[in-house]
Amino acid sequence: MDCKESVGGIKAVYIADFTSITYDTPTGGVIANVDAGDFYEFELPPQTGNFTTTANSSIENQSTFYQTELVIALPRLSTTARNQFMVLTKGRFAIVVLDRLGNKFVLGYENGCFATTGTAVSGTAMGDLNGQNLTFTSLETQPPLILTGSIPT
């Protein structure tokens, strides 16, 4: 029974150039494997990432699309982080999200994901984030797919 066995949060995100990735054909909302491409892994500290998918439907236009927003915080400012920030805020990406239950969600399967906001922050108090906050958005004809295979990194 699945009673009280669910937890929220994201363990890691895997980001790749959208044009370098090919997947198996999805069946029933599931993708078995990533056929080509490599992802860059970003492990997230606990409680620093989430995604939300919103169904947008128009009665007048008889259309439905799904908008997914992924929000992550990457700790530590550095020269490497600065350069990653520039790349992540300018590209079109394929993103796989690994949640704390071990599920892998494919964001931007058809159209890719784009950074829609990004901030680099120093923090004020000793316990504040010194790092980057990033929001990625995808607009798709279906909600995020589930990946059952491994993520090539």
Look at residue 1 and tell me whether its pLDDT is greater than 60.
Answer: no
Give 124's contacts (C-beta < 8 A, 6+ positions apart): none
What was the pLDDT predicted at 121?
96
Residue 73, both tokens: 């915080």
- How far is Cα of residue 73 from the mean position of the Cα atoms in its chain? 12
Give the H/E segment covering residue 79.
helix 79-88
Q: For residue 141, give the nearest of 26, 1, 5 by alpha carbon.
A: 26
Cα-based distances in Å from 37 to 5, 29, 40: 34, 21, 10
Q: Quick one: tokens of 49?
A: 């990432």
Mean pLDDT of 97-108: 97
pLDDT of 2 higher than 80: no
Q: What is the mean pLDDT of residues 102-125?
A: 97
How far is residue 118's CA from residue 85's CA, in Å, rounded to a whole number? 8
Computed over every residue of the chain, the mean pLDDT equals 95
Mean pLDDT on 12-18: 97
- Is there a contact between 16 and 93 (Cβ–Cβ < 8 Å)? yes
Report the pLDDT value the prediction gives residue 5, as an integer from 0 to 100: 80
Task: State the average pLDDT over residues 51-79.
Answer: 96
Q: Can you give the pTM of this predicted structure?
A: 0.93
State yes or no: pLDDT of 23 exceeds 80. yes
